[in-house]
Amino acid sequence: MDSARGLGLNGPQALLSAMLTSTTTGSSSTSTSIDAKFKAHGKEYFGTCADQNTLSVSQIAAIIQANFGQLTPENSMKWDATEPSQNSFTFTGADYLVNWAQTYGKIVRGHTLVWHSQLPSWVSSITSASTLTTVIQNHATTIVTRYKGKVAKYDVVNEIFNEDGTLRSSVFSNLLGNTFVDIAFNAAHAADSSAKLYINDYNLDSVNSKVNGLVSLVNSKRAAGIPIHGIGSQAHLSAGGAGSLQAALTQLATAADEVAITEVCFSLSGAAASDYVTAVNACLNVAKCVGVTVWGVSDNYSWRASSTPLLFDSSYQAKAAYTAIINAL
Ligand code: 9MR
């Protein structure tokens, strides 16, 4: 395949490939990209997470330019990276990702405004509900305003549920109950009314208590006028774990305007081709599913590197799972 030819290049060759891809309309690489093939089925994007560390690897940059249509900042837009101390914002990493995406015409999913993890201690040690309210509003407003028109969708709240569908204990829920959801979504919507705002979580891979709890909360919040537009299913899966994903996405889609697979990877399976095809088909078969994001490009930069969970190996060669998706599309 022409696309595969462009994927295994090293050094100057990869840079040349990248330049050609970015400047040539209808190049062979572009016409066989996963993103282009996925969009041909009526979807919005097929993407990956990245950040300056991976975008600076020439082979990864070339792969993304040729194959992926969407970027999620893997770490650079999280609270610890953007507001490490109160009202002192640092956008170096997030700006790099967003500017790169603009240069190469990639959609950005912002990730993530409110999360109990990678949260600076100055936030987790807040004891006043009114202070925390203002802090959430300021954080969400500042980030969404900065990237207005450049970030299409946001994971506004991330991983707020326990496995039984109840709300996870965090500084947010402990001080504000579930109203921190209202506060965060309202602030984000006020800052950019065009951005699609998501609630995102993991273990939403079958119709389970967590899916049901999430659907119930989204239904009640939307009925109350809170601008929740989408539901993201991370899909950090193990071998054989994608079989019920379509049913779960179908259930999630009953509660929102759109759903997405936001962080898919397959640990302990060596990224079996059939697992990936099952996950991609789950999105294809659910009308409201707008896109799939793989959680990284090459195994060596994966957060689960030892289980080789991605579509490209540590030498930046396309794996069987990549070819299987291309063939399935
Ligand atoms: O991939 C991210 C990794 O580089 C970070 O060390 C880790 C720290 O929490 O976060 C990883 O991304 C997570 C994502 O933001 C939310 N869902 C789970 C992902 C994997 O842990």
Handedness of CA 124, 152, 318, 323 (dihedral sign): positive
Give which of 140, 110, 142, 136 is closest to 124, Cα–Cα. 136
pTM equals 0.91
Averaged pLDDT of the chain? 91
pLDDT band, very low/low/confident/very high, at 267 (cuts 50, 70, 90):
confident
Our answer on whether the CB atom of 53 is closer than 6 Å to any ligand 1 atom is: no
Copy the structure tokens of residue 116: 């109990």
Q: What is the CATH number of the domain that holds 280?
A: 3.20.20.80
**Catalytic annotation present for 263:** yes
**In-domain check, residue 19:** no
Report which ligand 1 atom has the smallest distance to the Cα of 78.
15
**In-domain check, residue 16:** no
pLDDT at 270 over 80: no
Please give the pLDDT value at position 271: 67
pLDDT band, very low/low/confident/very high, at 113 (cuts 50, 70, 90):
very high
Domain count, the chain: 1
Across the range 20-37, mean pLDDT stands at 53
Across the range 80-109, mean pLDDT stands at 98
* Amino acid letter, 93: G
**In-domain check, residue 123:** yes
**In-domain check, residue 187:** yes
**Is 307:321 a contact under the CB 8 Å cutoff?**
no
Domain that holds residue 74: 34-328
> 303 CA to middle of ligand 1, Å?
7
Please give the pLDDT value at position 17: 41
Please give the pLDDT value at position 9: 39
Across the range 303-320, mean pLDDT stands at 94
Our answer on whether the CB atom of 75 is closer than 6 Å to any ligand 1 atom is: yes
**In-domain check, residue 17:** no
Phi, psi of 207 (to 5 degrees): -75, 95
**Other C-beta atoms lying within 10 Å of the C-beta of residue 174:** 15
**Span between the terminal Cα atoms of the chain, in Å:** 14
**In-domain check, residue 145:** yes
Our answer on whether the CB atom of 74 is closer than 6 Å to any ligand 1 atom is: yes
Please give the pLDDT value at position 32: 74
C-alpha of 301 from chain center: 16
Please give the pLDDT value at position 134: 98
Q: Give residue-wise pLDDT tens across range 160-170.
A: 999 999 999 99
Q: Give residue-wise pLDDT tens across range 219-253.
A: 999 999 999 999 999 999 998 999 999 999 999 99
Across the range 280-304, mean pLDDT stands at 97
Report which ligand 1 atom has the smallest distance to the Cα of 117.
9
Q: Give residue-wise pLDDT tens across range 175-221.
A: 999 999 999 999 999 999 999 999 999 999 999 999 999 999 999 99
Rounded Cα distance, 119 and 117, in Å: 5
Weakest mean pLDDT among 259-273, 276-290, 292-306: 259-273
Report which ligand 1 atom has the smallest distance to the Cα of 112.
15
**In-domain check, residue 29:** no
**In-domain check, residue 25:** no
